[in-house]
Amino acid sequence: MLLKPLLYGALACLLLCCEKTESPAEIKTKFLSNISLKTPNQVLQKQMDSLKVSLLDIYNYCQKSQDSAYKNKVITCIYGKVDNYLQEEKPEYEQGILYDLNKFNAVLMNFKAPQHKTFLDVGSGNGEKLYASLCWGFTKSVGLEYSKKLVQISQNALQEFIQQKQIDIIHADALKIQPEIYQEIDVVYLFSPIKDNKIMAQLTEKILKNMKEGALLLEMRFGYHKELSKSMGLNFPKLTDIVLKKQQGKYYYASAQSLKINWTLLE
């Protein structure tokens, strides 16, 4: 007689134990796999906030996802929450205005080759492009930044990646730093950090002369082709943005916007 209720009780306990409650990690994974590209970024940011989705969660998502449109969307949303600081530290240097992340992602997707592992942002601002480049498959990203405040903001936001040695942020003047830094890098990126065209040409010349064989330089605001042509004795084209490649001591260029890459020798 007593056995029956006991059996029912045991069965109920078993069923309760088996009823699965989702862990926060599972909830986040489910959320990320159900994102709609139509959801406005602000709405998505709020949802990410309430689920405590972190930069590391999005980085991990990007390592697994093959879909560039989704990656682009989540990178843009998650880094949009990081502070910025818009004040010139030197009148001839630019403020920390960020280059459009969607355009940056498109250029990287187009030009990054599988052998490109290291990335350098010259004038890295709040660190947005350092983070995005890791999400797009670089294994090491280095930032050079003149503004102490922006170095602090970016180091603070990216501390987990700095601890893992995936990101390094150096407080330095790109014009004065030892040129060896440019020899280590596969893809150097610039959003013209200096207002003065002559000084900007000096910086680009320093990078081009020191970057390694096969390396790329992505320049998203190329307003100084005349000054650079004069100082390097080469015919740089008048383009708003440009990708430069060094191969066997020679330089080649393509428009950063070209969908089909067509390298032209600089002479």
Residue 97, interface with ligand SAM (CB under 6 A)? Answer: yes
Residue least distant from ligand SAM (Cβ):
123
Piece of the chain touching ligand SAM by CB under 6 A; list 62-70, 93-101, 152-160, 225-233: 93-101
Interface residue with ligand SAM among 35, 106, 175, 239 (CB under 6 A) is 175
How far apart, in Å, do the first and last CA atoms of the chain sit?
Answer: 99
Interface residue with ligand SAM among 59, 112, 193, 243 (CB under 6 A) is 193
Q: What is the DSSP letter of 20?
A: P
Report how far residue 179's alpha carbon sits from residue 99's, in angstroms, rounded to the nearest whole number: 25
Give the number of other Cβ atoms within 10 Å of residue 154's Cβ. Answer: 29
Cα-Cα-Cα-Cα dihedral of 177, 112, 54, 18, to 10°?
-150
In angstroms, the Cα distances linking 131 to 4, 134, 190, 204 are 61, 5, 15, 23
Residue 147, interface with ligand SAM (CB under 6 A)? Answer: yes
**253: helix, coil or strand?**
strand
C-beta of 71: minimal distance to ligand SAM in Å? 18
Question: Please, are residues 183 and 120 in contact by the beta-carbon 8 Å criterion?
Answer: no
Considering only residues 116 to 145 of the shown chain, the ones binding ligand SAM according to CB under 6 A are 121, 123-125, 128-129, 144-145
Residue 76, interface with ligand SAM (CB under 6 A)? Answer: no
Report how far residue 138's alpha carbon sits from residue 152's, in angstroms, rounded to the nearest whole number: 23
**In this structure, are strands 167-171 and 187-190 parallel, antiparallel, or unpaired?**
unpaired
| Token duo for residue 141 | 């990203």
| Token duo for residue 214 | 């096969």
Looking at the Cβ atoms of 119 and 253, the one nearer to ligand SAM is 119
Looking at the Cβ atoms of 182 and 266, the one nearer to ligand SAM is 182
C-beta of 122: minimal distance to ligand SAM in Å? 6
Question: Which neighbouring-strand residues pair with 118?
Answer: 140
Residue 174, interface with ligand SAM (CB under 6 A)? Answer: yes
Interface residue with ligand SAM among 71, 74, 76, 96 (CB under 6 A) is 96
Q: What is the DSSP letter of 93?
A: B
Looking at the Cβ atoms of 35 and 162, the one nearer to ligand SAM is 162
C-beta of 144: minimal distance to ligand SAM in Å? 5
C-beta of 53: minimal distance to ligand SAM in Å? 22
C-beta of 64: minimal distance to ligand SAM in Å? 26
Applying CB under 6 A, the residues found at the interface with ligand SAM are 89, 93-94, 96-99, 121, 123-125, 128-129, 144-147, 150, 173-175, 191, 193-194
